[in-house]
């Protein structure tokens, strides 16, 4: 069955997008995860990947043209499939038009929609709001907080909710005015992009039919299959229905069903906490076989007398000797794994190490921090020194392309920040033009918001060089993986007090190890060494950074 792909909302402020480049053409085979096109938003040009498989049957927005969010972007389906009805409608609702209204066989398929009139009509003034795609890698989102409740008046530009993506927690604003009539994803729950998030419209409008029959990526319609039987209105098309051995039905979200399948948990053992007893993600994650009530255990035993053993345990402990635990990868962890693996296995890394005296830097920092409302760290001083050294050695501030090396004459330094789920790299734009105190204030602000998942995607884009510091953990020396598309990353160790030789005398000194990981495609060894020498001069004599 053909699927309509619409212009995605790739940022929280995006209202329209421009197709910069199509990477697939009509007739090409599409696999889930393939990059369809590069789309230019109000903030950046991002790769847009397919979440469907099939053949690209139609391109709705040619390269170079601009269209509003939710416009027809493409159609993917089976090779040779007739899509004339979809093209005639020119919108998502057309995808749900039935083959023939009188065909009884069509009514037995859950994917076949109701009559065209019901599929294409919404009550006047009613708007369906879906889970937005707030980053280029986002496939699902979690509602962290609702800032509006059902019945509240909503003005265009009001913040509806805070949504957690794979990169940050972002405010999601309304592009419509009216009354919040329905909330489709409760706080703390996770749902795929394009799932029903909310419904906005005139106060008092009945939207029960819309919410009950909405499927992700399509407009609502009354399901034909349910018109022929007295199914309760509370059963939603977005719910996955599992059958027990005695013919009963269990309501579960698709994500809950997938997690349960991965963990070997039978859904009829789980008590749902969602609406109408629906099983949600948290029910599966918090489920343990011991948590069953006697009644539930008895019911399970009666329903499946042949199953004497419980469901496969989450933890495998043979003879008490081995203990393993499975932790599902977060979206952030998956992206980190993908990007670092690509960097390590595509860029030929080599490392250069240099030892830097920190005595002068320690004295300079102590003096600077005596100024009221000023706080500068050693890491801030390293960042400032890097920015100045990069201006003198622009080949370090570069990136590799197959047909050219791009030299960046602006300096945007990314600062690696450890967060609960992994690592993020907020970016200091035009770092070379910032003072030490400005760098310090900016780093503290970005790091704080990174740990609270409050960074926007635009604050983590555009770095030309990266600094990673593990000195606060007592690590004296380490090597990092390059943060693509940068050509180098600096690893900063701890300051160590130890005997050093000065003027032929052994004295107590303070030193720090710096390790520069370079991409050998863009940076030769001598070039990297010269950069480290300049960096060492700036750090060992901080007054030169003022010249």
- Paired sense of beta strands 465-469 and 488-502, if any: parallel
What single string gives the DSSP state of each residue in 411-449?
Answer: --EEE-EEETTEEE--EETTGGGS-HHHHHHHHHHHHHH
Phi, psi values for residue 96, rounded to 5°: -105, 5
Cα–Cα distances (Å) from 132 to 74, 141, 142, 412, in that order, read 18, 8, 11, 29
The answer to whether the beta carbons of residues 453 and 169 sit under 8 Å apart is yes
Query: Does the annotation mark 520 as catalytic?
Result: yes
Structure-block tokens of residue 327: 């932790």
Continuous segment of H or E residues that includes residue 530: helix 525-540
The answer to whether the beta carbons of residues 195 and 185 sit under 8 Å apart is yes
Q: Is 446 helix (H, G, I), strand (E, B) or coil?
A: helix
The neighbour count for residue 376, using CB atoms within 10 Å, is 22
User: CA geometry: angle at 379 spanning 374 and 382, to 5°?
Assistant: 105
Q: Say how far apart CA 107 and CA 123 lie, in whole Å.
A: 24
The answer to whether the beta carbons of residues 67 and 61 sit under 8 Å apart is yes
Catalytic residue among 28, 206, 445, 524: 524
Q: Say how far apart CA 269 and CA 293 lie, in whole Å.
A: 9
Handedness of CA 447, 448, 453, 456 (dihedral sign): negative
The answer to whether the beta carbons of residues 495 and 509 sit under 8 Å apart is no
The answer to whether the beta carbons of residues 500 and 509 sit under 8 Å apart is yes
Structure-block tokens of residue 347: 């860029």
Catalytic residue among 58, 349, 410, 520: 520
Continuous segment of H or E residues that includes residue 467: strand 465-469
The answer to whether the beta carbons of residues 22 and 59 sit under 8 Å apart is yes
Q: How far apart are the two ends of the chain, measured CA to CA in Å?
A: 67
The answer to whether the beta carbons of residues 416 and 469 sit under 8 Å apart is yes
User: Hey, what's the torsion of the CAs at 512, 516, 517, 520, to 10 degrees?
Assistant: -160
Query: Does the annotation mark 409 as catalytic?
Result: no
User: CA geometry: angle at 213 spanning 212 and 214, to 5°?
Assistant: 105
Maximum alpha-carbon separation in the chain: 99
**Residue 304 CB contacts under 8 Å (≥ 6 apart), including other chains:** 245
- Beta-bridged to residue 22, according to DSSP, are 37
Report the catalytic residues: 520, 524
């Amino acid at each position: 069955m053909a699927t309509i792909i619409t212009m995605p909302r790739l940022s929280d402020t995006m209202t329209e997008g421009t197709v910069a480049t199509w990477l697939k053409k009509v007739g090409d085979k599409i696999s889930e995860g393939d990059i369809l096109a590069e789309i230019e938003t109000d903030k950046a040009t991002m790769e847009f990947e397919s979440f469907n498989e099939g053949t690209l049957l139609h391109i709705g927005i040619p390269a170079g043209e601009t269209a509003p969010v939710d416009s027809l972007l493409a159609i993917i389906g089976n090779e040779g499939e007739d899509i004339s009805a979809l093209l005639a409608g020119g919108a998502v609702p057309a995808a749900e038009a039935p083959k023939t209204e009188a065909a009884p066989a069509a009514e037995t398929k859950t994917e076949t929609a109701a009559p065209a009139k019901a599929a294409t009509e919404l009550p006047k003034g009613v708007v369906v709001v879906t889970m937005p795609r707030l980053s280029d890698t986002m496939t699902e989102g979690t509602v962290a907080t609702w800032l509006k409740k059902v019945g509240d008046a909503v003005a265009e530009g009001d913040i509806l909710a805070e949504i957690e993506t794979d990169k940050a927690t972002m405010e999601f604003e309304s592009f419509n005015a009216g009354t919040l009539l329905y909330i489709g994803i409760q706080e703390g729950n996770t749902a795929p992009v394009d799932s029903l998030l909310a419904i906005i419209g005139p106060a008092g409008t009945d939207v029960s039919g819309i919410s009950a029959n909405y499927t992700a990526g399509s407009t609502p319609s009354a399901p034909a299959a349910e018109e022929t039987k007295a199914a309760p209105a509370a059963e939603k098309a977005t719910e996955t229905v599992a059958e027990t051995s005695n013919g009963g039905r269990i309501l579960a979200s698709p994500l809950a069903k997938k997690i349960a399948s991965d963990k070997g948990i039978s859904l009829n053992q789980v008590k749902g906490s969602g609406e109408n007893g629906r099983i949600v993600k948290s029910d599966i994650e918090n489920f343990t076989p011991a948590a069953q009530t006697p009644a539930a255990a008895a019911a399970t035993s009666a329903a499946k007398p042949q199953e004497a053993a419980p469901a496969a345990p989450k933890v495998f402990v043979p003879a008490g000797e081995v203990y393993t635990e499975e932790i599902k990868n977060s979206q952030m962890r998956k992206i980190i794994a993908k990007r670092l693996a690509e960097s390590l296995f595509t860029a030929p890394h080599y490392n250069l190490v240099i030892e830097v005296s920190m005595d002068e830097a320690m004295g300079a920092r102590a003096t600077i921090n005596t100024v009221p409302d000023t706080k500068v760290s050693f890491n801030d001083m390293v960042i400032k020194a890097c920015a100045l050294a990069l201006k003198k050695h622009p080949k370090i501030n570069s990136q590799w392309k197959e047909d050219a090396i791009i030299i960046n004459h602006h300096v945007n330094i990314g600062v690696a920040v450890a967060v609960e789920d992994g690592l993020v790299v907020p970016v200091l734009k035009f770092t070379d033009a910032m003072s030490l105190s400005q760098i310090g204030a900016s780093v503290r602000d970005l790091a704080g918001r990174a740990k609270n998942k409050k960074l926007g995607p635009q604050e983590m884009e555009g770095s030309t060089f990266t600094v990673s510091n593990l000195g606060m953990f007592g690590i004296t020396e380490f090597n990092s993986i390059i943060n693509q598309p940068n050509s180098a990353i600096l690893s900063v160790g701890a300051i160590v007090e130890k005997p050093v030789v000065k003027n032929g005398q052994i004295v107590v000194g303070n030193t720090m190890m710096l390790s520069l990981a370079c991409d050998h495609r863009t940076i030769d060894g001598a070039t990297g060494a010269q950069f480290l020498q300049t960096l060492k001069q700036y750090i060992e004599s901080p007054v030169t950074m003022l010249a």
